[in-house]
Structures are given as C-alpha cells and as structure tokens.
Chains A and B, each alone.
Chain A
Amino acid sequence: MSTGTTRAGWPSVPQRLKEAEIRHAVPGSKGGASTVFTAFGYADRLMYKKYTEPRDPAALDRLVELHAAMDAESAGYARDHMAWPVATVRAADGQVAGLMVIRADMTFHAHLSTSRVRVRDFNYLLYEDRAARVGVPPATVRQKAALLRDLVSVLLWLDERGLVHEDLAAHNVLWRLEPEATVFLLDCDSLRPAGEATGQPLFTTVDWTDPRVLGEEVARPDRASTSYAVGLLVARVLGSPYWRPASGEGSIGPGGGFPPALEPLLDAAVGPAANRPSLRTWLDGIDGIAGALPAVRRVREAPPTPPATLRVEGQTIGLNDRLALLAGLVIGALAAVLVMVRFL
C-alpha cells in the first residue's frame, strides 16, 4: 500500500505492511535466506526483500523505527548510501515475511554486454578484467581509493550511531563513479547495535568474516570486525582480490601496487582486535595516500591456467575447422583445374 509521496519524491510508507498489500513481481537477486523483488507503487525507490527463513521481528522493527525517527539530513544520507529497511512486511499469520528496503538507484546498476542488468557490486571492482569483458569499465587507482574512502565514511556514520554492519562483503557494497565516487550498502537488515547480545542467527560471508567470529571468540561481529573487513576490502581493491591474511606469524602484503603507506594499517587491521585501527584512522590513512595515487588503471595479473595437456577428448569438429577444411578442398580443386588446363 503506497500512500503518496513526500516533498522529496520519497514514498510515504507505513512502518508495517501486510504482504497481501504489496504488488511485487520480477524476482531479482536471490541470497542465502531471502529473495529481493521489484515492488510496484513506491516511485521506484523501494524493493521487497522476502525472507525464506524466519527473522526476529523486534530487531527489524527497531531498524525501521530508527529510519522513521531520523532528521531530514540523516534520512537523506541513509537513502543515498544504504538499503535501509523502511517497513516490515507481515504475512497473513502475523509473522515477519520480509522488509521494504531502499532500492539502489540505476546509477548503481550496470547494463552488461550479456544483456543483463546487475547491481554493480565490489566484485566488479575486484575482478576488473572480467568486468571489462561485459562492459564495466575499470576504475583508476585514485577512483578506487575514493570509493574506499566513501565506504569508510558510511561505516563511520553508522559507528557514530552505535551500529555495526554484520555482513560487510564485496557483494554487499555497490559503487558508482559518476557524478562522484559513491558507495551503497546492501543487506542493512544486518545492522545491529555494537556489543548487543542477541540470539539471532548470524548471516555473513565466510571469506570476509573476522576470524574471531568464525572461531567463536566473539559471538557477533563488532567494531574490530568492521576494521578487519575494511582491511580486506582495502587490500583486495588496491592490491589483489586473492589476498588473504597470513595465518601464522608475519604477513605477506597484497602486492599488485598496494600503497606501502597503508601496510601498517592493514597489518594492524588483521591482527589482534585491540590493535585494529579505528574507522577514523582508516579514513585518515586513505586521505593520506589519495593525492599520491595515479589516475591510471592498473592491469592485474590473471591467475595461472592449467597446462594445455588437458586435451578435449571426443570433441566434435567445430565451425572453424569445417571452414578450414572447405577452404582446403576449394584450393585443391582449383589447383587441380589449373593443372588440367595447363596440360590439356
């Protein structure tokens, strides 16, 4: 049920909706425990995130209320940078079926040469040679630093409000370069008050998760986990997408032209929690190197491919082979005709 729009073109939405009231279609991205649908009637500003597993209604209601209570400036910032939940959606039995969340606008989408439209997440920044093959131009090193700066700014904004994003990962951060380098955070139902004890299941992405959480040293991602995830993002975006912290003593840097000035911060971020840099320190660190970074694209080395000894067995003759055979036959026939003409 939409009830008109506010002065900024923002649809006014009740904080609780019944699922039957939502006109939705066209399932979009499918996650581990939810599917996102286009929702009609909300000025293209909202999407319906439908859960396939139960969620805690109180935690979701709290996020919705936080948005409703924001002043105009904060609400504007949240809408520009985060898929913040603006309404909970209840099924007929009263349980939470999903959320209405802010939709990333089309500047965060990419029209691929495969005729598909996808949200432009950080994976298109990490695997830029592959992204370029489907029409997503690579960013320069300086532009990447600007995107990372904007990401840290968003996380700092959340931190100042006592919130931690529990699922920071490349697929949850969208980016655009025009009109300016900007990021947009997805899965904001993973926002939780820092330090809060909760019995809710933890949704996260193993490759990007603080080892303290995976090792059950701490129950939930905390501020130190955010610093760890920022370290991974900085290392993988400015260095190599394959970089992982060393498990033993000492560390090997991400290489790939990673700025040496950020190495101490990275070492600290993946080390003991007590020594991890604050988000403010990360911001200062990125600002410190930004001016010195080249406005050029840096081609990354592709991973090795298996040797050619793995031959195809039983492969049928392809078009090129057929054309080559045909050309050979034609040339042979012409030669035969010439020989016959010469000697007849």
Chain B
Amino acid sequence: MHRVVPIYLAINTSPSMARRLVEVEQMLVALTDELLSSPVLGDQVRIGVVSFADTADLVLPLTDLTRLGRMPRIPSGRETRFGPLFELLAKVVGRDLTVHRAMDAEVMRPMVFLLCDGLPTDNGWERSFAKFYGVAHAGVILATIGLDEKETQWLGSALRATAAFSWADERTYSLAARVEEVLLDHASILVTSRVISTPRGSSSGSPSPEQDA
C-alpha cells in the first residue's frame, strides 16, 4: 500500500509579506531538490500550497513536487484573514483525503504549515478553524514573522499548533532554509530512527558521569 504524507503550505500574502514571497518560491525549489534527492521522501511526501489574505486561493493542489513542470507563482493580496483560509482548507484537505483513500493509499495525518506576519483581522475565524479541524484532523505548525513570542503563543494555542516558531522580521536569515528545515523535520520520521520505547527504570535521562575523567 502506497503511503502519502500530505503537507499544505498556507502562506499569508498580505502586503507586508510581499517581499517574502520570492523566498517562499525559492523554498519550493529547494524542497523539490530535497525530495528528488531522497527517493523515499519523494515517493511519499505530497505538497499543496494555499495563499491567503482577504481571500484564499489554492495555488498548488496536493502534488508530487518532483513531477511538477513549473513552480507556481504566489500572488499577493490585502489584509490577513483566517476565515477564508480555513474554509478553503476544510474543502481541499477533506477532498484530498477522500481521493487518496479511494486510491487505496495509506494517508498519514495531514500537516498544515502556516506562515504569516500578522494576527488575523477577521472576526469569527475560529468557527472556520473548528470546521476545518473537524473535517481534516490536521496538525498545524505555525511560523510567524515579526510577531512577538506572546502573540505567537496565543495564535499557536488557538490553532492547536503542534509547534510554533516566532521568527524576527529581518534579512539576517534565510526564510527558505528555515521553512525547508521545519518541513523536512516533520517528514523525516519516515527515514530516521526514533525512540519508540523508554522502559521503566531507564537511566537514560541521567547517564552516569565518566568515572575516570
């Protein structure tokens, strides 16, 4: 049975994010190279891209990036609204799950990587999120640019995020590299060993110091 690991990038395209969109497109190219270089990740990871501002658009449906002829261009929008995003994601993720399961694939829990640089301006977006969460049962990883820790934590909590990152709004780091690292860290469970059990009485938490140091 073929396994599918669905990852959706939800990219805020409000005007303040406009200069970052090129970096997001660069990240998609770098991610494609990585998926090409790792046959098992390439075989199983599928990427979808949703842009959101005052409206939300499916820029790239869930896709095997390594077979994509050209990268999507991400259009910029106006204000940051979460309601349209989660309305769209509920439809898209729900449909993708149905399609892939009908094709007898083992579909792993979907993950939404949400990148934004502002708090949502619309009221009642939580209802859309609850609907999305009920349909998709997706995990959310949140990355904010320029928000402080407290705002990021609040937003992460409201989104039931499994991880939340608060990145500074400066050019001293590569946004593409950071996003790629987070995504690959999520997907790498397919190709790396993990602790699957820690027997009771384990001493692993406090290894004994060297006796003859």
Interface bits B55-79 vs A (CB < 8 Å: 1, else 0): 0011111101010011011010000
CA distance A203 to B189 in the complex (A): 12
Cβ of A312 and Cβ of B72 under 8 Å apart?
yes
Task: Report if B205 contacts A (CB, 8 A).
Answer: yes
Interface segment, B37-45, B121-129, B135-143?
A: B37-45
Q: Known interface pairs A133-B66, A201-B197, A201-B198. Does A314 touch B42 (Cβ–Cβ under 8 Å)?
A: no
Q: Is A291 an interface residue (CB 8 A)?
A: no
Contact partners of A187 in chain B: CB under 8 A? 193
Shortest distance from the beta carbon of B7 to any chain A beta carbon, whole Å: 15
Contacting residues, chain A, for B1 (C-beta < 8 A): 242, 244
A314 to B69, CA, bound (A): 16
Q: How would residues 197 to 220 of chain A score, 1 for a CB under 8 Å from any chain B CB and 0 otherwise? A: 011111111110100011010010
Whose C-beta in chain A lies nearest to the C-beta of B198? A201
Residues of B close to A219: CB separation below 8 A: 197, 199
Interface size class of chain B, counting residues whose CB lies under 8 Å from the partner chain: 35 or more
Q: Does A303 contact B (CB under 8 A)?
A: yes
In the complex, are the beta carbons of B197 and A96 less than 8 A apart?
no
- A93 contacts B by Cβ under 8 Å: yes
B209–A93 CB distance below 8 A? yes
| B37 and A114 within 8 A (CB) | yes
Judge whether B171 is part of the interface by a CB distance below 8 angstroms.
Answer: no
Q: Is A316 on the interface with B (CB-CB < 8 A)?
A: yes
Task: Find residues 183-200 in chain B having any chain A CB closer than 8 Å to their own CB.
Answer: 188-200
Residue ID in chain B nearest A244 by CB atoms = B1
Name B210's closest neighbour in chain A (CB-CB). Answer: A94
Identity of the chain B residue whose Cβ is nearest the Cβ of A199 in the assembled complex: B202
Asked whether, in the complex, the Cβ of A316 is within 8 Å of the Cβ of B202, the reply is: no
Those of A311-344 within 8 Å (CB) of chain B: 311-316, 318-320
Chain B nearest CB from A251 CB (Å) reads: 14
B residues in contact with A206, CB < 8 Å = 194, 196
Contact call B197/A130, Cβ cutoff below 8 A: no
A244 neighbours in B (Cβ, 8 Å): 1
Residues of B close to A133: CB separation below 8 A: 36, 66
User: Does A267 have its Cβ within 8 Å of any Cβ on chain B?
Assistant: no
Q: Which of B60, B73, B100, B104 contacts A306 (CB 8 A)?
A: B100
A292 on interface, CB distance cutoff 8 Å: no
Least CB distance, B6 to chain A, in whole angstroms: 11
Q: Which residues of B contact A94 (CB under 8 A)?
A: 209-210, 213
CA A313 to CA B95, docked complex, whole Å? 15
Considering only residues 41-83 of chain A, those with a C-beta below 8 Å from chain B are 53-58
Please determine whether B59 and A202 come into contact, CB atoms closer than 8 angstroms. no
Contact status A96-B207, CB under 8 Å: yes
Given contacts A90-B213, A130-B43, contact A203 B202 (CB under 8 A): no
- Pair B33/A116 contact, Cβ less than 8 Å: yes
**Chain B residues with CB under 8 A of A304:** 2, 103-105
CA separation between A276 and B197, bound complex, in Å?
24
Tell me whether B60 and A312 are in contact (CB under 8 A): yes
CB B65 to nearest CB in A, in angstroms, measures 12
Nearest CB of chain A from residue B213's CB, rounded to whole Å = 4
Cβ of B39 and Cβ of A316 under 8 Å apart?
A: no
Structural contact, B191 and A314, CB atoms closer than 8 A: no
A316 and B43 contact, CB distance less than 8 A: no
A264 interfacial by beta-carbon distance below 8 Å: no
Q: Which residues of B are found within 8 Å of A167, using beta-carbon distances?
A: 193
Taking CB as reference atom, which chain B residue is nearest A316? B73
Say if the beta carbon of A32 comes within 8 Å of chain B.
Answer: yes
A312 to B72, CA, bound (A): 9
B51: chain A residues within 8 A (beta carbon): 314
Known: A114-B37, A242-B1. A201 touches B193 (CB 8 A): no
Per-residue contact bits, chain B 71-90, to A (CB 8 Å; 1 contact, 0 not): 01101000000000000000
**Nearest residue in A to B184 (C-beta to C-beta)?**
A30
Binding site for A on B (CB under 8 A): 1-3, 33, 36-40, 42-43, 51, 57-62, 64, 66, 69-70, 72-73, 75, 95-96, 99-100, 103-105, 188-210, 213
Q: Which 6 A-B pairs have the closest CB atoms?
A: A127-B39, A94-B210, A303-B2, A316-B73, A130-B39, A314-B57
